[in-house]
């Protein structure tokens, strides 16, 4: 889902620059409305297209001592995800 964050950054950049252009040419009120429109577009994009990740991994440093432990943990996570898909 790396393309999702890239598109989000591009949307933010476009609306930020557009807001600055509107501020220079018109007024602060219209610039604020442009930023508000940008937030609305971003939230709609996030809710419709981005969604939530399938799973989130989080762990403490103490759980991982070396690369072997990490690879075992990753394999275990993928096995559990596959079991969920099969059910």
* Number of neighbours of residue 19 by Cβ within 10 angstroms: 19
Write down the pLDDT at residue 61: 61
Compute the distance between CA of residue 68 and CA of residue 59 in angstroms, rounded to an integer.
15
The pairs formed by 8-16 with CB atoms below 8 angstroms and a separation of 24 or more are 8/42, 8/45, 8/46, 8/50, 11/38, 11/41, 11/42, 11/45, 12/38, 12/42, 14/38, 15/41, 15/42
pLDDT, one tens digit per residue, over 29-76 is 999 999 899 888 888 887 777 766 555 666 666 655 555 667 777 788
Structure tokens belonging to residue 28: 């602060």
């Amino acid at each position: 889902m790396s393309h999702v964050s890239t598109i989000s950054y591009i949307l933010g950049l476009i609306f930020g620059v557009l807001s600055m252009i509107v501020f220079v040419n018109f007024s602060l009120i219209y610039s604020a409305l442009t930023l508000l429109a940008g937030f609305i577009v971003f939230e709609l994009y996030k809710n419709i297209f981005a969604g939530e990740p399938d799973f989130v991994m989080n762990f403490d440093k103490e759980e991982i001592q070396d690369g072997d432990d990490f690879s075992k943990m990753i394999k275990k996570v993928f096995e559990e995800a596959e079991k969920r898909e099969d059910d």
